[in-house]
Amino acid sequence: QLPEQQQQSESPLSLGRRVYLPALHSVNQTLAKGGRWKDVASTQARRRSFLQGFCKSYSSRKKLQTHLVPLVSRIYVEDRHKVLYCEVPKAGCSNWKRVLMVLHGLAPSTHNISHDDVHYGKHLRKLDSYDLKGISTRLDTYTKMIFVRDPMERLVSAFRDKFEHPNSYYHPVFGKAIIKKYRHNANEEALRTGSGVKFREFIQYLLDSHRPVGMDIHWEQVSKLCYPCLINYDFIGKFETLEEDANSFLQLVGAPAELKFPRFKDRHSSDERTSAEVVRQYLKELSEEERQLTYNFYYLDYLMFNYTSP
């Protein structure tokens, strides 16, 4: 949040200076027309106002100095409909990437796109792959959207997905390191495979300032993935109202009428969805102090998006 004079004198591309990104896109003019968009407009105005109020208070206490390019490393670009989507894992991101691929003409339907194509096909460009002018122009003129989720639900969902099912990456890379450091008297099989990580061991890793392995986007804070206080998102969707929010957004950006946000679960479709009740069962495995520290870890995400503390 820069003073007006500073906004005029500093280019958003001035690396090493505080970054100022443009005001909200014209999607809000569409929302303002009223009619059937009245409820959508009201919800979006409330969410943006809450976030901006938090950012104004937070930024006044902490000066945010950063470069432009790292801010946009998680943002996907869809040029046909001029959409920018910041990926938040475990908040509908797989299906959002399917939708972007259909919007871009890369597939006829979201149902024809496999999980591997979504995540490993490299069909979609990220914003940081453009030059500085390309980044700035798109931030200034495209509709920027983000979808978020209750932080604890997102965390438990990530743990269940990556550690309770066979996984050729997370078990040997994260699982082995976690078991080795946090499980006393671990057997040779667990140390060899990295399978069977317990939720409490995972939380010990998460809260450890000297983690044996680094962070991962599936449990990184949204504040560090999408920088909501530096990028003015036009549309803030929530996982809790995913289908309604997503289909409203698609209509706003002029998507084909037949394109609807997918309802299917991307993987492990037979598993119970991670709900508030499921989260409660996992949190019972933690001590009171561990629960508080985990909440503290996601404190900014709770505040930014007006989620109730668990």
- The per-residue pLDDT for range 260-309, each reduced to its tens digit, is 999 876 666 668 889 999 999 999 999 999 999 999 999 999 999 999 98
Burial class (CB in 10 A: 0-12, 13-18, 19+), 296: exposed
Q: What pLDDT does 149 receive?
A: 98
Q: Are 84 and 75 in contact (CB under 8 A)?
A: yes
Torsion, CA 202, CA 208, CA 212, CA 218, rounded to 10: 50
* Residue 20 confidence class, pLDDT cut points 50, 70, 90: very low
> How many whole angstroms separate alpha carbon 30 and alpha carbon 62?
34
State the pTM of this model: 0.87
> How many whole angstroms separate alpha carbon 278 and alpha carbon 153?
8
* Residue 35 confidence class, pLDDT cut points 50, 70, 90: low
Q: Helix, strand, coil: what percent of the chain each, to 5?
A: 50, 5, 45
Q: Are 76 and 97 in contact (CB under 8 A)?
A: yes
So where are the chain's domains?
34-151+220-275
Q: Residue 155: is its pLDDT beyond 50?
A: yes
> How many whole angstroms separate alpha carbon 282 and alpha carbon 280?
5
Q: What is the mean pLDDT of the chain?
A: 87
**Rounded (5°) CA angle 41-28-134:** 140
- pLDDT tens digit string along 182-228? 999 999 999 999 999 999 999 999 999 999 999 999 999 999 999 99
List CB contacts of 92: < 8 A, sequence separation 6 or more: 147, 239, 242, 246, 261
